Amino acid sequence: MGAAWQGGAAIVKRAGGFRLIGGKRLSTLPGERSNMSEPEASPEFKLPASRLPVVFGLLIFGFGIAAGFLLAFSQAGLEDSAALIVSVFLGAILVLSIIGVVLFVFRGILMRRAFGVVEAQMESFAGPLADIAQGAADRDPTGTIQAGRNLLQLSFARYAWLSARRWIIASLTGLIAAMAALAGTALLFKQNQHLEDQLRALEVQNQRISDQSALLATQVELAEAARNAEIAVEITNIAALLGEALDRKAARDAAEGAPAHENPWAGMVPVLDPVTDIDQSLRMRIVAASRAAKPYRFLEPLYRAYDDNDKIRVAMQRRTDLFGSNPGLAAAMSTGQDVAEQSLIARPASPERAQLLLTLVQSGLRDTESLSYYGLDLSFAAAEDLTFTAVSLENAMLSYAAFDRSAILEGRFGGAQLENASFASAWLRDTTFASLPGEEARGPYRAEGEVYPTFMAGTSFADAFIQRSIFDNIQAIAVQFDGATLMGARFDGAALPGATFRNAVLFDVSFDGAALNSVDFDGAYVARPDFINMLAERAAPGTFRPDRYEIDEVPMGEVAAALATRAVFSPDDLADMAGGFTAWRIRRVEDF
Residue 318 lies in a domain: no
**Of residues 403 and 76, which shows the higher confidence score?**
403
| SS3 state of residue 298 | coil
User: Are 108 and 184 in a shared domain?
Assistant: yes
Q: Mean of the pLDDT values across residues 42-57? A: 55
Give pLDDT tens digits for 538-574.
999 999 999 999 999 999 999 999 999 888 888 888 8
Structural domain contains residue 498: no
Q: What is the pLDDT of residue 258?
A: 64
Q: Which residue has the higher pLDDT, 333 or 165?
A: 165
469 Cβ contact partners less than 8 Å away, ≥ 6 residues apart: 428, 429, 430, 431, 432, 433, 486, 488, 489, 490
> pLDDT at position 30, please?
42
- Do 60 and 25 belong to one domain? no
Which of 229, 258, 276 represents a domain boundary (last residue)?
Answer: 229
Q: Give a yes or no: residue 72 inside a domain.
A: yes
* Residues 122, 25 share a domain: no
Residue 40 lies in a domain: no
**Residue 223 domain-assigned?**
yes
Q: Please check whether residues 194 and 64 belong to one and the same domain.
A: yes
Q: Are residues 96 and 15 part of one domain? A: no
The residue from 201, 229, 257 where one domain ends is 229
pLDDT in tens, 422-462: 999 999 999 999 999 999 999 899 999 899 999 999 999 99
Domain stops at, among 229, 257, 277:
229
Q: Which is nearest to 564 in space by CA: 481, 472, 483?
A: 483
| Within-domain flag for 90 | yes
pLDDT of residue 83: 65
55 and 117 fall within a common domain = yes
Residues 61 and 179 in one domain: yes
Q: Tell me the average pLDDT across 288-307.
A: 86
Of the candidate ranges 54-68, 265-279, 348-362, the one whose mean pLDDT is the lowest: 54-68
pLDDT at residue 472 in the model: 97
Q: Say if residue 16 is in the same domain as residue 75.
A: no
Residue pair 463/405 in contact by the 8 Å Cβ criterion: no
Structural domain for 6, as ranges: 1-29
Instruction: Kindly tell me if the per-residue pLDDT of 68 is higher than 80.
Output: no
CA separation, residue 387 to residues 384, 558, 587 (Å): 9, 30, 36
24 with 133, same domain: the answer is no
The answer to whether 512 touches 493, Cβ cutoff 8 Å, is yes
Domain presence at residue 419: no
Whether residue 436 contacts residue 416, with contact meaning beta carbons closer than 8 Å, is answered with no
Cβ atoms of 473 and 452 within 8 Å: the answer is: no
Q: What's the total number of domains in the chain? A: 2
Tens-place pLDDT, residues 304-353:
787 777 888 888 877 777 766 666 666 666 655 555 567 788 899 999 99
Residue 191's H or E segment, with its range, is helix 141-229
**Same domain membership, residue 104 and residue 5:** no
> What local confidence, expressed as pLDDT, does residue 488 receive?
95
Please spell the DSSP secondary structure of 396-423, one letter per residue: -B-TT-B-TT-EEES-B-TT-B-TT-B-
Question: Where is average pLDDT lowest: 164-173, 246-255, 462-471, 542-551?
Answer: 164-173
> Considering only 35-39, 518-522, 571-575, which range has the smallest mean pLDDT?
35-39
Least confident of 163-167, 359-363, 502-506: 163-167
DSSP state of 381: B
User: How large a percentage of the chain has pLDDT more than 90?
Assistant: 44
Query: What pLDDT does residue 380 have?
Result: 97
**Is residue 109 in some structural domain?**
yes
Looking at the fold, whether 214 and 131 belong to one and the same domain comes out as yes
My answer on whether 78 and 23 are in the same domain is: no
Whether the per-residue pLDDT at 15 is higher than 50: the answer is: no
